[in-house]
Amino acid sequence: MFKIDTKTSDYMSIVVTHECNRKCPFCIDSYRGRCEFITLENVKRAITVAKTKKIKDILLVGGEPTLHPDICLIAKMVHEAGFNVVLTTNYTKPDIVKKLDKYVDSFNISYYYQEMLPMKKDYKADITLSTLIFKGQLDTKKLLDSFIDKYKDEYILKFSTLTVCNDFTEKRQQVDYLDELEAKRIILFNEIEGQIYRNCIIKRYDKLVNKNAEQSLKCHVDGTISYSWDRDDL
C-alpha cells in the first residue's frame, strides 16, 4: 500500500483493539493492554466519514487486530465499502490472517524475527515486511544489506527508525550509518525525511522536517475520530 507519494489525506487508520499478545518496548500505543474492541457500529461510522473525506485506503491497526473476534467481518465491511484494505499484524494468528486474505489487499507484517512468516505464493494480497532499525537491531549497514538480501525476493520491504515515546526509544533511536547510505533522500507525508535504499523505503522518524504537517485520520476503538492518536473528537 505505502508509496513515496502517499498523502495523509489518502488514508484512515481504524484502531480495532488495544489488546496485544506482545510487549514490545518500543510500542507507541499509549492505550496498550486495554481490553477494548471496536464495535461494528463504530466501524460503520468510520466508513461513513472516510467516504465523505474521499479516503482511498483504510488501515486496520491495533494493538493486534487479529485478536478482535470480528476482525474478518470488519475487513469484509471495509472491503465491500470499496476501500483498499491494509492490515497490520505480528502474524501470531496465521489461520486468521489466511481467512482475511479474501478481504485484505495488503498485509503489513511487523517483523520481530518470527520463525513463521506467510509465503507470497499462498496469498492474493501483497505482503510487506515492516522492520525497525535501532541500536540493537539492524544497526550496521552489513546487517541491513544481509536482511534485504534474505527477504527481497519474497516480500515488499519497509524500514523505519523508532518513534520516541519512552526511555527505550530515546536511547536507541539514533543509528548513525543511515546518514552515510548511498540512498535517495525524499520527504514523506510532508513531515519526515525518507530514504530509498536498494528499492526499499526507510522512514526516518528521527528526521522531522515539518512538525506542523497535516496528519491522517484515525478512528479510535470508542468511535472517536480525530487527526491524533489521542481520542480528541473531530
Write out pLDDT tens, residues 90-149. Answer: 999 999 999 999 999 999 999 999 989 999 999 999 999 999 999 999 999 999 999 999
Instruction: Say what the pTM is.
Output: 0.94
Q: Are strands 156-161 and 184-188 parallel, antiparallel or unpaired?
A: unpaired
Asked if 141 contacts 129 with a C-beta cutoff of 8 angstroms, the reply is no
Nearest C-alpha neighbor of 111 from the set 74, 142, 169, 150: 150
Tens of pLDDT, residue by residue over 176-213, are 999 999 999 999 999 999 999 999 999 999 999 998 99
What is 139-164 written as a DSSP string? -SHHHHHHHHHHHTTTSEEEEEEPPP
Q: Sketch out the chain's domains with CATH numbers.
A: 8-20+31-164+214-226 (3.20.20.70)
Nearest C-alpha neighbor of 212 from the set 194, 191, 229, 234: 191
